[in-house]
Structure 1
Amino acid sequence: MAGMTALTKLCPPPGRATKPRWETIEANLGTPLPQDYKQLAERYGPGAFNDYVHVYHPHGATEYVDLTGPMPGRLRAQLSKDHEQGTHPVPYAPETLLACAVTDNGENLFWITDPAGDPDRWRIAVNEARGPGWFTYDGTLTAFLAAVLDGSTEVPLFPDDLGEKSARFTPASPADTGSIRSWARARGYDVRPRGRIPLEVRDAWEKHRKPKG
């Protein structure tokens, strides 16, 4: 696939491969998934591109970057509420939007799941962090990532210098900073998109991660 080929050439995978149980995952989600995404998940594993775009993965390090976790449903419910109440304009029917990534600043990336039965034709929509703005990319997730990382596509919602940096992929760890920021924002903490995470936030995160009982 062109998008995956361009992405791996620009940003080589970390040298590990995983094989999620796609049949079970798709059954749980109630939808087939794009082939380019399956290749992406298998070749790269959980992690982030340029320490900014955190792709959802069936083996996500936390529920906040887990494709089969609660976040896709929560985001869709929030979009439905915004759509019904007119809080923020939603350019697509909320039921057609399936979350596939989140940025370090809190922008959410969605597949536009239309046509439903042909996921390889799904496009990408980006929603502004805590705002009404949207950006649509007419292509696959891997093509979007390659285009953003090589600077050929500029997303107004992203940092201006994102495509100027050397492309890299960082495998996720249990203390993945993007996941901590997403978790903290969901609980009302004021966390800057970059820089040091406040100690109180890290302490709260560690308490959250400890087994109950």
Structure 2
Amino acid sequence: MSDLSVLTRLCPPPQPPPAPVDWGRVEAELGMRLPEDYKQLASVYGPGSYGGDYITIYHPHGVTLYVNLTGPMPSRIREHLQRDYEQGVYPAPYDPPHLFAMGGTDGGQRLFWITEPENAPDAWRIAVNEDKGPNWATYEGNLTAFLVDALSGQMDFPQFPNLREIPADFTPAVKPPFEVGDPPTREPVNTDDIRNWARANGFQVPSRGRIPREVREAWEQSHTA
């Protein structure tokens, strides 16, 4: 049984199916081939989040610039990694040019493809970094297998302390009721800063764990000007 078959049984995809993706155009825009498992995953599920909105995978039809695979975020995250790599601040274990950001979590972690070898995307592995910290982990498999292990509770990554608590579900993305501007060029903010901002603006947020989606979106809206 394929990883995608296991995932769809564990985590049913949305109905009706999402709009088809023009993968030729997407790969031409990115200037690289994409893993087949990702293209199948994105075609079946569409844009959205897994595990109670905890894990978001970037998609060519992403509803904001923050979650669009062909948007500015992957290159901007790579620029931050390159600068940190050169300055010795939270250095990545791989050369930043070989890391392509394709997802993240409500806890602030980032998901990357390790794009080596460049001409064999189906052999790319997954790298995960912690929020504003030096620790990285490598998953020896593709993205779909990663999601299966994460949603079935078989994964134990120190970067993902809340995996045992997330449900095995998928939430289709909904376009926000406000216009989300171009993502800021500064570094991703520490999640503690989001919590402090949220409390100062009347939101209820837990002291630990996942920051609710509506709080993160409100923070992003207020900081895109």
Residue 6 of structure 2: SS of its match in structure 1?
helix
Residue 124 of structure 1: SS of its match in structure 2?
strand
Distance (whole Å) between structure 1 residues aligned to residue 145 and residue 189 of structure 2: 33
Distance (whole Å) between structure 1 residues aligned to residue 109 and residue 60 of structure 2: 20
Structure 2: unaligned runs, 5 residues or longer: 196-209
Matched, 1:191 2:208: no
Tell me which residue corresponds to 2:146. 144
Residue 93 of structure 2: SS of its match in structure 1?
coil
Return the offset for 1:207: 9.6
8 Å contact kept, 2:37–2:142: yes
Distance (whole Å) between structure 2 residues aligned to residue 81 and residue 48 of structure 1: 29
8 Å contact kept, 2:81–2:91: no
8 Å contact kept, 2:66–2:73: yes
Distance (whole Å) between structure 2 residues aligned to residue 136 and residue 197 of structure 1: 30
Distance (whole Å) between structure 2 residues aligned to residue 32 and residue 132 of structure 1: 29
Matched, 1:44 2:61: no
Tell me which residue corresponds to 2:102. 100
Matched, 1:171 2:172: yes
Distance (whole Å) between structure 2 residues aligned to residue 131 and residue 85 of structure 1: 14
Distance (whole Å) between structure 2 residues aligned to residue 166 and residue 6 of structure 1: 15
Tell me which residue corresponds to 1:22. 23
Amino-acid identity (%): 49
Return the offset for 1:198: 5.5
Distance (whole Å) between structure 1 residues aligned to residue 81 and residue 220 of structure 2: 28
RMSD: 2.9
Relative to structure 1, the CA distance from residue 116 to residue 202 in structure 2 (aligned partners, 3 Å threshold; closer, same or farther) is same
Structure 1: unaligned runs, 5 residues or longer: none
8 Å contact kept, 1:124–1:138: yes
Residue 132 of structure 1: SS of its match in structure 2?
coil
Tell me which residue corresponds to 2:218. 202
Scaled by the length of structure 1, what TM-score is found?
Answer: 0.85
Pick from 155, 158, 166 the counterpart of residue 157 of structure 2. 155
Return the offset for 1:158: 1.2
Aligned residues: 204
Relative to structure 1, the CA distance from residue 129 to residue 187 in structure 2 (aligned partners, 3 Å threshold; closer, same or farther) is closer
Distance (whole Å) between structure 1 residues aligned to residue 188 and residue 90 of structure 2: 18
Distance (whole Å) between structure 2 residues aligned to residue 204 and residue 101 of structure 1: 17
Distance (whole Å) between structure 1 residues aligned to residue 219 and residue 125 of structure 2: 38
8 Å contact kept, 2:54–2:166: no
